[in-house]
């Protein structure tokens, strides 16, 4: 019995983080506001100055990584300013995954 309770205590924090949504997406939201919002609009609400990220294809993970890392025409590259983990967190935010 006490062994079971111990297990429950061990498992609870993991379950809590899993159900609290995606911590990565929250980190991505903060990174987005810091690095991307000035061109892509606060919370991705776009004023037409650049690509509307709300319309970015949800299956476009590789395209996203490439564009953010290397840049794309007027889109500046972030490969030297952000870590791969940070770019992945941004993807979670943009794709809503």
Rounded to the nearest 5°, which phi and psi values hold at 75? -85, 115
Helix, strand, coil percentages, rounded to 5, for the chain: 65, 0, 35
The yes or no reply on residue 39 touching ligand HEC (CB under 6 A) is yes
Rg (CA), the chain: 17
- How many binding residues for ligand HEC (CB under 6 A)? 20
Q: Which 62-91 residues touch ligand HEC, going by CB under 6 A?
A: 63-64, 67-68, 72-76, 78, 90
In the bound state with ligand HEC, the residue whose beta carbon lies nearer, of 12 and 47, is 47
The H or E element that residue 75 is part of is none
Question: Which of 24, 26, 41, 56 contacts ligand HEC by CB under 6 A?
Answer: 56
The yes or no reply on residue 58 touching ligand HEC (CB under 6 A) is no
Rounded to whole angstroms, the Cα distance separating 55 from 18 reads 27
Interface positions with ligand HEC (CB under 6 A): 35-36, 38-40, 50-51, 53, 56, 63-64, 67-68, 72-76, 78, 90
């Amino acid at each position: 019995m006490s062994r079971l309770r111990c297990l429950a205590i061990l498992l609870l924090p993991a379950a809590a983080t899993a159900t609290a949504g995606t911590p990565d997406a929250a980190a991505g939201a903060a990174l987005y506001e810091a690095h991307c919002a000035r061109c892509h609009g606060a919370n991705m609400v776009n004023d037409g100055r650049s690509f509307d990220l709300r319309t970015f294809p949800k299956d476009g993970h590789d395209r996203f990584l490439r564009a953010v890392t290397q840049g794309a025409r007027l889109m500046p590259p972030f490969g030297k300013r952000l870590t791969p983990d940070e770019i992945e967190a941004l993807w979670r935010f943009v794709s809503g995954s």
